């Protein structure tokens, strides 16, 4: 028959006294052993010098239920207890208690958590004009995924110095453009947490905006603008977030299919009026450095050979 150990009620945590001999210093621990069964008549206590129990013989002590003053001789750092019932039926040993920490509330250890809360492509650095880098969020959401804390965790956080909030969801939404400062700490169900993490980043969900015009004002009627092959097309694209990545164009000739996108550059104007033998449609679209693409702007070109 197995006997379950009683509760240990701590009267005082740890005190020091002299005992056993004048040259031997011992520690004295005071606590109370309260039986939770009527047939428990005694307790056995073992004192150990280390937690490697297969390499030594313990020092054993017997005690009756009730208050106990346990003297720990110098050199002994651990002890354990088991209950003894009538007919010498013995229960299971408890775990090893460390003498110096017995009765003290364990301090939560700081456990490392992965500093990068998301995949490496969720926050990307983009170089600014002055040579520095700024982090940009590539989606509308950040997912915090701790690697050394169990699935049961909560996140205490605040955004841009606002009110501290607590959530059990690992997902945080950032749907609007702007600058953000995210401060957060992850804590598991035992109260173990990592240090405070701080991330400063920008959100840019807005595509660029392009304006198309001609170098020289075209001749206009009510429905049509007339330009010559020497009149250059001017494309002005602006982006207030991550900046312009590229300006692209594609075309479709009468009776043909839409071409692949090409990069617009200084040489594109020279080829513009010769890409198709007849009429054609031109589509222009700017894309920023995060991949936000504007809706293409279109111009229809119709050739005429009429002269004044």
Tell whether 270 is covered by a domain. Answer: yes
Asked if residue 228 and residue 178 are part of one domain, the reply reads no
Tell whether 74 is covered by a domain. Answer: yes
Output the pLDDT for position 305: 65
Asked if residue 184 and residue 221 are part of one domain, the reply reads no
Q: How far apart are CA 7 and CA 66, in angstroms?
A: 11
Query: Which residue spans within 138-214 are E strands per DSSP?
Result: 141-143, 153-159, 165-167, 171-173, 178-188, 197-203, 209-214
Q: How far apart are CA 229 and CA 242, in angstroms?
A: 35
Output the pLDDT for position 236: 92
Q: Do residues 185 and 165 lie in contact, with contact meaning Cβ atoms separated by under 8 Å?
A: no
Asked if residue 157 and residue 92 are part of one domain, the reply reads no
DSSP 99: G
Tell whether 69 is covered by a domain. Answer: yes
Q: Do residues 85 and 97 lie in contact, with contact meaning Cβ atoms separated by under 8 Å?
A: no
Looking at 148, 172, 203, the residue that finishes a domain is: 203
Asked if residue 154 and residue 184 are part of one domain, the reply reads yes
Asked if residue 54 and residue 81 are part of one domain, the reply reads yes
Which tokens go with 147? 């690697």
Tell whether 118 is covered by a domain. Answer: no
Asked if residue 218 and residue 197 are part of one domain, the reply reads no
Q: How far apart are CA 85 and CA 36, in angstroms?
A: 11
Q: Is the pTM of this model over 0.75?
A: no
Tell whether 1 is covered by a domain. Answer: no
> What residue spans of 182-303 are helical by DSSP H?
268-272
Output the pLDDT for position 112: 36
Asked if residue 214 and residue 290 are part of one domain, the reply reads yes
Reduced DSSP (H G I as helix, E B as strand, rest coil) percent helix, strand, coil of the chain, to 5: 5, 50, 50
| CATH of residue 52 | 2.60.40.10
| pLDDT by residue, tens only, the chain of 308 residues | 333 444 443 333 333 333 333 334 567 888 788 877 777 888 888 888 888 877 788 888 888 888 888 888 888 888 888 888 776 777 778 888 888 877 666 554 443 333 333 333 578 888 877 778 888 988 888 887 766 556 677 888 999 999 999 888 888 889 899 999 999 888 876 667 767 888 889 999 999 999 998 888 777 777 777 888 788 899 999 998 888 988 999 999 988 888 888 999 888 888 888 888 889 999 999 999 888 999 999 998 888 765 55
Asked if residue 94 and residue 24 are part of one domain, the reply reads yes
What's the gap between Cα 179 and its chain centre? 18
Output the pLDDT for position 39: 77
Output the pLDDT for position 28: 80
Tell whether 109 is covered by a domain. Answer: no
Asked if residue 199 and residue 243 are part of one domain, the reply reads no
Which tokens go with 226? 């007339």
Q: How far apart are CA 228 and CA 41, in angstroms?
A: 111
- Kindly calculate the radius of gyration of the chain based on its CA atoms and give it in whole angstroms: 39
Output the pLDDT for position 147: 60
Residues of the domain holding 248: 209-301
Output the pLDDT for position 180: 93
**Domains contained in the chain, number:** 3
Tell whether 55 is covered by a domain. Answer: yes
Burial 201-237 (b: 16+ CB within 10 A, else e): bbbbebbbebeeeeeeeeeeeeeeeebeeebebebeb
Output the pLDDT for position 14: 34
How many CB atoms within 10 Å of residue 24? Answer: 11
Closest CA to 173 of 122, 139, 134, 196: 139
DSSP-derived pairing of the beta strands 7-21 and 24-34: antiparallel
Output the pLDDT for position 21: 35
Asked if residue 288 and residue 269 are part of one domain, the reply reads yes
Looking at 172, 203, 234, the residue that finishes a domain is: 203
Asked if residue 226 and residue 179 are part of one domain, the reply reads no
Closest CA to 246 of 233, 237, 234: 237
Asked if residue 291 and residue 226 are part of one domain, the reply reads yes
């Amino acid at each position: 028959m197995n006997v379950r150990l009683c509760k240990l009620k701590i009267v005082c945590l740890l005190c020091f006294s002299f005992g056993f001999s004048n040259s031997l210093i011992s520690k004295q621990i005071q606590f109370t052993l309260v039986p939770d069964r009527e047939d428990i008549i005694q307790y056995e206590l073992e004192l150990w010098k280390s937690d490697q129990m297969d390499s030594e013989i313990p020092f054993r002590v017997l005690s009756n239920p009730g208050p106990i003053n346990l003297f720990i001789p110098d050199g002994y750092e651990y002890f354990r207890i088991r209950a003894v019932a009538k007919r010498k039926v013995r229960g299971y040993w408890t775990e090893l208690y460390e003498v110096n920490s017995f009765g003290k509330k364990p301090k939560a250890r700081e456990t490392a958590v992965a500093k990068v809360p998301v995949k490496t492509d969720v926050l990307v650095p983009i170089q600014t004009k002055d040579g520095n880098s700024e982090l940009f969020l590539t989606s509308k959401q950040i997912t915090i995924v701790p690697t050394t804390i169990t699935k049961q965790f909560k996140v205490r956080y605040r955004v841009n110095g606002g009110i501290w909030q607590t959530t059990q969801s690992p997902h945080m939404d950032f749907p609007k453009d702007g600058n953000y400062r995210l401060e957060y700490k992850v804590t598991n169900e035992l109260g173990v947490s990592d240090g405070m993490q701080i991330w400063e980043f920008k959100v840019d969900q807005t595509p660029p905006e392009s304006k198309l015009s001609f170098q020289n004002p075209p001749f206009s009627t009510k429905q049509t603008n007339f330009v010559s092959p020497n009149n250059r097309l001017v494309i002005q694209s602006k982006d207030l977030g991550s900046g312009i990545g590229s300006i692209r164009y594609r075309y479709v000739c009468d009776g043909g299919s839409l071409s692949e996108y090409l990069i617009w550059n200084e040489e594109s104007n020279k080829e513009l009026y010769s890409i198709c033998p007849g009429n054609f449609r031109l589509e222009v679209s700017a894309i920023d450095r995060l991949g936000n693409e504007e809706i293409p702007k279109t111009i229809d070109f119709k050739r005429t050979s009429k002269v004044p």
